[in-house]
Structure 1
Amino acid sequence: MNLTGQLLLATPTLREPTFHRTVVLLLDHGDDGGLGVVLNRPMEVDVATVLPPWQPWTTDPGVLFQGGPVALDSALGLVGVPGDGDEPPGVRRINGSLGLVDLDTDPDDVVQSLSGLRVFAGYAGWSSGQLEREIEEGAWYVVDAEPRDAFTDQPDLLWRSVLRRQGGDLAFVATFPEDPELN
């Protein structure tokens, strides 16, 4: 199964702080493993601190997001590319209207073709078979992504809002308390 472009939502049983209540967009998934970015962990660091030319083009709140625990000294640029035409220079589509931009590209060469930009420090990664085991063990829900998920201006509400739109039992999960032991 290839889950590229899907969202992983941490189940309430996943209590490990790095991934507790996270929403992860899978950028790549296959037999060799998976790679994604956490969409709902904004940092208190403006993009201008590390990539000044990209700051004017970042989607609000205009800060770096912690994409995951791996390679925190690297940056990934996630972009929205409207339509289904050719990719702008420096952009590689992942799925639908979502793509990755080479952050060494001159923003002026690409921004007119984008509908959103978010910059992530680090990423989440899984070795071959690891993600499938975690899903089987009940650590993750796998759901369809919508382009707006990657660029929400309310990342702190993303976990609950994605669950609610699923309906049924998953919508109910959105009401679980932050710490069930305090209930």
Structure 2
Amino acid sequence: MSGRLLVATPRLVDPHFHRTVVLLLDHGPDGALGVVLNRILPVAVDSVLPGWQEVTSSPGGLFQGGPVGLDGAIGVAVGVAVGGGLTTVDPMAGPFGLVDLDSDPDELVGKVDGLRIFAGHAGWSGGQLEEELDERAWFVVDAEPADAYTPEPDTLWRRVLRRQGGELAIVANYPPDISMN
């Protein structure tokens, strides 16, 4: 499932994940790791990682990648250079790669299509994500590269569901509080 999206179903009311879109970066028997793509924080990237603001995709703020490890940062790059000899980016899944945030940010200019910096991440222990999937807490859908650096993260949940068509497109119109439906 690495490289795919976990889209929170309306029944997932945990405030950490309500209406989130998670890019799953790694998934295996020992657990899973991802980043929430649609939770921008009111914090400039440069306030945490000086020099990185100018190379991040618009809107250029820091994103809350999830409730785990909030004192750490993860950089996710998308593009043709991911896995193509760029030493500052480790390929993860498909067009997505992890950025070495100790490197010179200027090394990425013109070499990736998009870049986001996340404070924290979403993590699941072995079997935990599978249990949540069995409980129908998440829809699993294909990611488009631009999902990871969309200029409109606030509308990503609805847009991802709408492009699926059928019943998922209908779910995109659910009110934030499903008891109001």
Q: TM-score, normalising length from structure 2?
A: 0.96
Distance 1:62 1:109 in 2: 18
Distance 1:78 1:162 in 2: 19
1:1-183 correspondence to structure 2 within 5 Å: 3-82=1-80, 86-183=84-181
Task: Assess, with a 3 A threshold, how the Cα gap between structure 1 residues 50 and 85 changes in structure 2: closer, same or farther.
Answer: closer
Deviation at 1:181, TM superposition (A): 2.2
Deviation at 1:131, TM superposition (A): 0.2
Unaligned runs of 5+ in 2: none
SS at match of 1:52: coil
Q: TM-score, normalising length from structure 1?
A: 0.95
Bigger Cα displacement from structure 2, 90-99 vs 46-55: 90-99
Q: Percent identity?
A: 60
SS at match of 1:113: coil
Preserved CA contact (<8 Å) 1:4 1:95: yes
- Structure 1, residues 95-131: CA drift from partner, whole Å, max 9, x if none? 2221111100111223231111100000000000000
Deviation at 1:41, TM superposition (A): 0.3
Report the aligned-residue RMSD.
1.3
Distance 1:141 1:87 in 2: 34
Preserved CA contact (<8 Å) 2:9 2:137: yes
Unaligned runs of 5+ in 1: none
Distance 2:177 2:68 in 1: 26
